[in-house]
Structure 1
Amino acid sequence: MADSEMDIAQQQETWRDFCRLTLWSCIGITVLLIVLAATLVW
């Protein structure tokens, strides 16, 4: 029983890291696109 609970906690932690990574990737790509667009406009 404890093992399965540990697995669930581990999965939640991994999921949280994955979400954070995805979020930062999206932010980074958005910033890059904005910089690129600004460079092209200027």
Structure 2
Amino acid sequence: LAAAGQDGVERALGILKDEIERGMRLMGVTQVEQLTADRLRRR
């Protein structure tokens, strides 16, 4: 991350945020508070 400086860090955090939001949409939740243990499946 440090190689691309501030822009690289911001991009990486943006990607992480997008992935979390996508996962939440796929699970049918709109708020982090809705992410409870019963929504998880253990492999």
What TM-score do the two structures reach when normalised by structure 1?
Answer: 0.57
Work out which of the two has the higher radius of gyration on C-alpha atoms and give 1 or 2: 1
Structure 1: which 5+ residue stretches go unaligned?
A: 1-8, 37-42
CA RMSD of aligned residues (A): 2.0
Which protein has greater RCO, CA pairs closer than 8 Å, 6+ apart? 2
Structure 2: which 5+ residue stretches go unaligned?
A: 30-43
Q: Tell me the matched-pair count.
A: 27
Runs of 4+ in 1 over 3 A off after TM superposition: none
Give the structure with the larger helix fraction.
Answer: 1
What TM-score do the two structures reach when normalised by structure 2?
Answer: 0.56
